[in-house]
Every structure is written in C-alpha cells, then in structure tokens.
Amino acid sequence: MPKPYSYEMRQQVIQSILVNGMNKSEASRVFQISRNTIDLWLKRLEETGDCQPKAISLIRSVNKITDLVKFREFAKIHRYKTYAEMAALWHESVSPTTIARTLKTIGLTRRKNL
C-alpha cells in the first residue's frame, strides 16, 4: 500500500484550488498528483470538514482456522475439492481465500503435496 500524501501537501493543494482559484487540472499538473486524488480529498473535506488521511489499522486479521492439525487432516480428505468447496465444508464460516492462506501456512499449497 502506498504511503499517503502528507497533510501539509493536501492542505496546500486544497488551498490552491479553493482560495487561490486554481482549477483541478492545473493543480494536478503543478503538484504532480492525479485529478482523482484531488477529487477524493475535496470529497473528504466536504464530508468530514478535513482532508486528513484515513487512519491505517495496524491490527492484522487473525486467521480464522486455528486448529491446524485438524485442518491438515481435513485438507487431505478433501484434496480434490476447490477452495470454495472446502470453505463450504469447513465447520466454521471461512472464505476460499482463508482456505488457500491456511493451506499455504501449513505448507500444502499444491494439491499434489496433500
């Protein structure tokens, strides 16, 4: 994920547009940012009253499959099924992506290894 633009830069761009009358296309060229980015900042300013970047969550989601021994046995039994089919059969609600990620975690990313 790219680093957000600084708050000072956001303020400078918005001030150039709202106070100094620069149009968005010109601001895009001068500050070397996309016009879409400027639109997003202006929308955030309108909705929240400020153009601060959104807070980045540092909490990583925890894998929903915690019993890896049980999952390994499950994966061996259902080795010919798709990730979506395996997700539907797992006893907890999980996504196919979670199935794939957990298979990778336990070193069973290839069906032939199961």
pLDDT digits (tens, 9 = 90+) for 21-65: 999 999 999 999 999 999 999 999 999 999 988 776 655 556 689
Please give the mean pLDDT across all residues of the chain. 87
Q: Does residue 74 have a pLDDT over 90?
A: yes
8-state DSSP, 110: S
- Amino acid identity, residue 85? E
Locate the domains of the chain by residue range: 7-48, 68-113
> What percent of the chain lies above the pLDDT cut of 70?
86
C-alpha distances (whole Å) from 79 to each of 4, 17, 98 are: 42, 58, 15
